[in-house]
Amino acid sequence: MDFGADFDRGSSGTSGAMGDRLARLAVLEGILHLGRMMDGLGGFFRLVVVSVFVVSLVACGGASGESGGGGGEGGNDGGEEAPPENTSEGTGGAVDSSGGVEGMGLREMVGQMFVVSAQGTEREYYIDKMIEDRNIGGVLLFGYNMESEEQVRSFAESMQSLSMETEPSIPMFVAVDQEGGEVGSAPWVAPQPAAAEVGARGNPEEARVISEQIGTELLRAGVNTDFAPVVDTGFGGAIGSRSYGEEPNLVSQMGAASVAGFESAGIITSAKHFPNHGPATSDSHVSLPTIEHDMATMMSYDLPPFAAAIEAGVPMVMMGHLVYPAMDSENPASLSPAAYEMLREDLGFEGIAVTDDLVMEGATGGGPSAEAVVRAVEAGADLLILSSPPQEQADAYDAVVEAVESGEIPEERIRESVERILAVKESYGMYETPEG
């Protein structure tokens, strides 16, 4: 289909056996526990202790994987008070409010899985048709969509009103990428230091306060979702000063504190870019990075900050366009069933798995974004970011619907994702009518 007058418009890796999965989980739990116990110890000493711990567990029947890059230490250092637990991450069952999954048809459910870009600074034909005809789950705003707090509030409220007036009446994620430092295009939000600067000072409370302030200022304009914080360890390709540091223990503390700050402000967040963009030497916007870490290194270096964010209650985790051969030698994490299985089974994440933007080269490989979207859903993605031109958004939506109707994707796969999406929207009070 195309817009017209009416806008009618791959091979997967696998995770190991149950014994390997349990061993990997034991590694992560042990690393987090050690991290909490070792606050104040020198970085080198922690590195030695945790490395010995990981090697010992792997030698006793732990995780399998290909050999690869260097080691690291892991864990969430318990020097700070644990952030409050967020009840939003549970998938729950069907949502009881208006728009519950039981009353939704296939096309309505598929639409909820899309977060798309808009064309300007106010509602226009294409975004209206995506809301009215395809029931999209959200909109991602870029710098060109945002002129002022007042303009964004009006834009957001207008889109929300249209969504709630259109059956099945489900509120939308209105999202931005507002990290602090160089990444942040909301003009009314006060500038904040980059994560690397905050991490260098080593105070998780500073990270919490900054995130709470960003979140409070975003919410004033009707922005309810921030695709932050970055919990990548390292300063590699496309990350740079967006990372809190090169030690997983530090990144774990800072990331968990940031999640707590956003949560205090009532903002939905996403820890990114799973399993870790920090070691990459290239940018997934324009290439497909490969990171040669073995499974032990993934457990000790790459994954602890994500485990800490999950423990802190982060409602979303963003899947990166990165190949980790120890996990899946052929597919980037965003399109890899093995990556989603690791996130769900090994890290115990029950919230929304959201892709990085599926127009990026790391996802498309030069092909159509619709193909990448279908592969992401097949792999296990719940929420699909797509900032392509309107016709490509429509084509991608249609491709998922057709894949379900043909039996390529089970409808239950879609239903599971929409239950998670609606559960988060419900738990963050998005169905509540704002006062005033």
The residue ranges of every structural domain in the chain are 92-427
pLDDT in tens, 311-354: 999 999 999 999 999 999 999 999 999 999 999 999 999 999 99
Question: What architecture (CATH level 2) is domain 92-427?
Answer: Alpha-Beta Barrel (3.20)
CA atoms within 13 A on the CB side of 326: 21
- How far, in Å, CA of 201 to CA of 207, rounded? 10
Task: List the chain pLDDT tens, one digit each, 436 residues.
Answer: 444 333 333 333 334 444 555 556 555 665 555 555 444 444 433 433 443 344 344 444 333 333 333 333 333 333 333 333 433 333 333 344 444 788 899 999 999 999 999 999 999 999 999 999 999 999 999 999 999 999 999 999 999 999 999 999 999 999 999 999 999 999 999 999 999 999 999 999 999 999 999 999 999 999 999 999 999 999 988 899 999 999 999 999 999 999 999 999 999 999 999 999 999 987 788 778 899 999 999 999 999 999 999 999 999 999 999 999 999 999 999 999 999 999 999 999 999 999 999 999 989 888 899 999 999 999 999 999 999 999 999 999 999 999 999 999 999 999 999 999 999 999 999 998 655 4
Check the CA dihedral 292-298-304-310 and report its sign.
positive
Residue entry with tokens 């990372």 = 243
**CB-count exposure of residue 238 (10 Å: 0-12, 13-18, 19+):** buried
Considering 77, 226, 356, 398, which one is annotated as catalytic? Answer: 356
Q: What is the pTM of this model?
A: 0.81
3-state SS, residue 75: coil
In the residue annotation, 285 being an active-site residue is answered as yes
In the residue annotation, 2 being an active-site residue is answered as no
- How far, in Å, CA of 305 to CA of 307, rounded? 5
Candidates 373, 186, 207, 342; CA nearest to 275 is 342
- How far, in Å, CA of 145 to CA of 155, rounded? 9
* Dihedrals phi, psi of 272, to nearest 5 degrees: -140, 155
Decide if 371 contacts 399 (C-beta within 8 A).
Answer: yes
